[in-house]
Each structure stands twice: as C-alpha cells, then as structure tokens.
Amino acid sequence: MHALVELVHSDVGSANGLDLRLRSRPGHTAARATLYLGLTQVLHVHHLGPDRYRLERQKGKGFAEKLDPTLFDPAWSQPQSLSRLAQAWPAVMTYVHAAVRAAPSKYLSSEGRVQALLGRGTSDFGAIDREVVINFPSQPAKAAALAGEAAGIHAAREQLALTRRWAEKEKAFGDELDLLAVDRAGRVLVVEVKHGTDTGGVGWTPAQVALYLRLCQLWVDATPWAGSVLNGMLDQARRIGLSGHSSEFTVAEPVTLVPVVAIGQPLKNPKVANERMRLVHDALADHGVPLPGLEVWSVDGSGRPSRVQLGGLPTPS
C-alpha cells in the first residue's frame, strides 16, 4: 500500500492537496488509513483485525460525472487477507488516480489545500495529525464538555453583537481541529486553518482555536500519557515514510499547548479581517477565554508559514 504514501509526496499529490492519515479509537480493534483530497476523502483502507482488510471508495456525487464506477471492484469492499488485497493493488491505484482526476475543483477548497500543505510539516514543525477529534466516554459527556468550554465564547459573541452587525448571527463551531503539530521546542501546536478569501471565517479564528485549545487541554489533563500518544503518532508517520520531518521533533513533557491561527494567502479584505480578529480576541479575554501565546501565521502558496502580529496579516501586493 506504500504507493499511497508515494502519491501524497508526488507532484500530483501537491497539486491536488492529497494527504494520508491514520485513524483509530482506543479500545477498538478496527482502524483505517484515509487518503484525503483537500477536505474530502478519496479512499479508506480499513484494518478490521489480524490480516483482515477492506476498502471503501469515494461516494461523493460530485465525482460521479467523471469517475467510472466500474474501476472500483466491489470485491475490495469485502473483508479479505492482505495477500489477496496486494494482488489487486495495481488496479486499486488505477482507481485512486482516476478519482483524483475526477474531483471537482470545489472539493479542493482553498482551505483544504492549505491544510494539506501544512500537514506535510516544515523544518520548523512536524505535523501530528489533521482533522483531529477528541473522543469522550459518551455523547452526553461530549455535549456537556462542548457546552461548558464554549460558554465564554458565546458570551464574547453576544458582547460583540451589541455594536457589530457581523457578530449578530449565532456562531456554531465544529469539533474537528484542523491540525495538531509539534515545534522544535517540543510544544504542541493547536492550529486553526482558514484561507484569506474567507473574510468572515478569518475574523472568527481566535474563537475557533480557543474552543479547540480548551478541548485539547481537557484531553491532556485527563491523559497522563498524552505525550507518549502524540510521540507514537509521530513515529508511525516516520516509519511509513509519510513525514520526512517527524524524526526531528519530539513532544516535550509536560505537554504544553500553543494556539495557532494559520491564514492562507492571499487575503481578500485584510483591513476587515485583521480588525475582526483583534476584536474577537479581545472580547474572548473579557469573558475569561484568554489565548496566551497565540501565534498567527501567514501561509504562502507553497504552504510555508511566517509569523505575524495579531491583526497584522499582510495586504496583497
């Protein structure tokens, strides 16, 4: 299956925002590897248990117009041994390449490509995972945690709504963190990604990263071995050749979380975006949701970030 890793690192992978991620849940036998294209998925490789695998294809309607459905053999969806799947792997890759070519441009959103590029890491940080979700013992426990951690954020929005029309509409945030990474100091970076063309989204990034930071802190506080878990994920990426930088980074103990907002260039409306980011940041602090050590990154077209001051995102030349 290493051809998936090679595809991610190829020119095709870079141009199409391809990324490979490993997924599992503690206490569950099943796990999977998922090939992402931007923010959507091209292929899931499910590991069901010892020497049992099955594949799951891309099912999006947007792909249907250009993707020949007969390229995906239904037999691949059935549990089977690794040796049997290996025999079919050249045909599987034919399907994968066809699915990538068939992807509508809207599936490779600007934000999705920025995420994928940052997910490769740089000489300054190693990527641990994308689309990170914190698991809870139950759905009620998760709902209670989300409500509790978001209370100050909602209060900040209500304060802004008194004087700012753009803040009047209730703002709902998901539970998926865009990127978890580690820098050379061993600090864990909690990264919210937006593209500069999404002016409204850019303005709310301090609130989004504040929520994800607090959820990640809940997990760290409840998991004394959190550093070992994260270092194990880095080691997995290194061993399969997914991250060329992972061996250079190690999560330090005790785990320290750093909030990061990463904005892909170009910025559509820098004056408005910068002002809203500052206002949201300050309103959060007023309601007990500070963001100490917040880093703001301006990300160029190749995925290279540079640090800027809050409210200092550059104006397009």
Q: What span, in angstroms and rounded, lies between the C-alpha atoms of 230 and 246?
A: 11
Place of tokens 């703002």: 171
Residues 11 and 143 occupy one common structural domain: no
Residue 104 and residue 119 in one domain: no
Contact 261, 189 (CB under 8 A): no
Pick from 108, 140, 159: which residue ends a domain?
A: 108
What are the residues whose beta carbons fall under 8 Å from the beta carbon of 308, sequence distance 6 or more? 296, 297, 298, 314
Could you give the CA distance from residue 131 to residue 119 in angstroms, rounded to a whole number? 10
- Residue 215 and residue 79 share a domain: no
User: Which of 195, 241, 4, 2 shows the shortest CA–CA distance to 99?
Assistant: 4
Whether residue 219 is found in the same domain as residue 103: no
Of 61, 90, 108, the residue that ends a domain is 108
- Of 108, 129, 149, the domain-final residue: 108
Whether 87 and 216 share a structural domain: no
Is 200 found in the same domain as 77? no
Q: Give the CA diameter of the chain.
A: 64
* Residue with tokens 């949701």, as numbered in its chain: 289
3-state DSSP call for residue 184? Answer: coil
Residue 238 shares a structural domain with residue 183 = yes
- For residue 169, the SS3 value is coil
Considering the domain boundaries, does residue 79 fall inside one? yes
Residue 260 falls inside a structural domain: yes
Question: What is the pLDDT, as a whole number, of residue 15?
Answer: 85
Using 70 as the pLDDT threshold, list the residues of the chain that sit under it: 244-247, 317
| CB 47 within 8 Å of CB 53 | yes
313 found inside a domain: no
How many structural domains does the chain have?
2
Residue 263 phi/psi, 5-degree rounding, is -115, 120
Instruction: Say which residue the tokens 């785990």 belong to.
Output: 255
Tell me: do 43 and 59 sit in the same domain.
yes
145 domain residue, yes or no: yes
Report d(CA 213, CA 260) in Å as an integer: 9
Residue 52 Cα distances to 46, 49, 230, angstroms: 8, 5, 26
* Residues 224-253 as b or e (16 or more Cβ within 10 Å = b): eebbeebbebbeebbeeebbebbebbbbee
Domain presence at residue 279: yes
- The answer as to whether 316 is a domain residue is no
Q: Please name the amino acid found at residue 130.
A: R
The predicted structure's pLDDT at residue 245: 59
Both 66 and 155 in a single domain?
A: no
Position 86 in a domain: yes
Range of the domain at 80: 3-108
Q: Name the 3-class secondary structure at 189.
A: strand
Q: Establish if 199 belongs to a structural domain.
A: yes
Helix/strand/coil for 35: strand
Question: Is residue 98 domain-shared with residue 220, that is, in the same domain?
Answer: no
Q: E-assigned strands of the chain?
A: 18-24, 31-37, 40-49, 52-57, 125-133, 176-183, 188-195, 257-264, 295-299, 305-308
> Which SS3 state, helix, strand or coil, does residue 243 take?
coil
Q: How far apart are CA 116 and CA 46, in angstroms?
A: 21
Q: Does residue 269 contact residue 277 with C-beta atoms inside 8 Å? A: no
Question: What does the alpha-carbon distance between residue 7 and residue 109 come to, in Å, rounded to a whole number?
Answer: 19
**Do 185 and 165 form a contact (C-beta atoms < 8 A)?**
no
Same domain, 158 and 195: yes
pLDDT at site 317: 63
Of how many residues is the chain composed? 317
Give the residues across from 54 on adjacent strands. Answer: 46
Q: For residue 247, what pLDDT is reported? A: 65
For residues 122 and 89, membership in a common domain is answered with no
Q: Using CA atoms, how far apart are residues 43 and 1, in angstroms rounded to an integer?
A: 12
| Helix axis angle, 139-161 to 205-222, nearest 10° | 150
